[in-house]
């Protein structure tokens, strides 16, 4: 059950990648028009990109661990003598 929920989360995460890219791109587009706030806008865009990348990396790591555990369970149960 938890694995299914996590898989749904990971799929939704991937589906939002374009939204984050668009958000950051629009943030960068604001820079020339808002020069007095350029530093803060740029910093926020960088923070969003960094946090998004971290979330994707942690999700990927969790997926790999889950896959490894499932593989181990499947293969160890099929090789155990009865």
Long-range CB contacts (within 8 A, 24+) of 24-31: 24/48, 24/49
* Cβ proximity of 45 and 24 under 8 Å: yes
pLDDT of residue 78: 61
pLDDT above 60 for 27: yes
What does pTM read for this prediction? 0.74
DSSP secondary structure letters along 8-19? HHHHHHHHTHHH
pLDDT band at 71 (very low <50, low <70, confident <90, very high): low
pLDDT band at 40 (very low <50, low <70, confident <90, very high): very high
């Amino acid at each position: 059950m938890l694995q299914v929920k996590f898989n749904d989360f990971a799929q939704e995460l991937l589906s939002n990648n374009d939204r984050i890219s668009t958000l950051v791109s629009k943030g960068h587009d604001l820079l020339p028009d808002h020069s007095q706030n350029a530093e803060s806008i740029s910093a926020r865009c960088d923070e969003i990109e960094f946090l998004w990348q971290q979330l994707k990396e942690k999700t990927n790591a969790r997926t790999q661990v889950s896959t490894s555990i499932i593989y181990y369970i499947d293969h160890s149960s099929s090789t155990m003598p009865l």
